[in-house]
Amino acid sequence: MRTFSRDDLRRTLDADEPIVLTAVLDRDHFKEVLLPQAINVPIGKSFGRDLQGEVPDKSREVVICCANINCDASPKAAAQMERLGYEQVIGYSAGQEDWRDAGFSVERGSQ
């Protein structure tokens, strides 16, 4: 799995590159800080099925993130994605807190 820094992610989003930014948090944590353009596919029993419904093209770049650097959801999701055949899994391990604390754009809502 490749990794992204905060600045890598910001540059990619600013350039409108075709990535799928995917938070692997439970719905309550996802709603706390919504990263721009992010979808939510919580890690859990139905993760593989749910992810394939959201991102059927396994050749797409998928950036996964969780709450913060201490969250273990991203590595678990990445391992499962690679087993499912996703070719371009990118981890943003610093997660939502890092993005928000840097003062970058966030969306608030009830997704």
Cα–Cα distance measured from residue 38 to residue 106, given in angstroms and rounded to the nearest whole number: 10
Nearest-CA neighbor of 77 among 107, 28, 37, 39? 39
Percent of the chain scoring above 90 in pLDDT:
70
Task: Assess if residue 76 is contained within a domain.
Answer: yes
Number of domains in the chain: 1
Tokens 């996964």, located at residue:
64
When pLDDT is cut at 50, 70 and 90, the band that residue 105 belongs to is confident
Is 60 exceeded by the pLDDT of residue 108?
Answer: no
Q: Is residue 107 part of a domain?
A: no
Residue 17, domain member (yes or no): yes
Rounded Cα–Cα distance for residues 82 and 68 (Å): 21
Total-model pTM: 0.89
**What's the CATH number where 52 sits?**
3.40.250.10
- Which structure tokens are listed for 7? 């600045």
What residues make up the domain containing 67? 2-101
**pLDDT (tens digit, 9 = 90+) per residue, 37-70?**
899 999 999 999 999 999 999 999 999 999 899 9
Q: Would residue 89 count as lying in a domain?
A: yes
Place 33 in a pLDDT band, splitting at 50, 70 and 90.
Answer: low
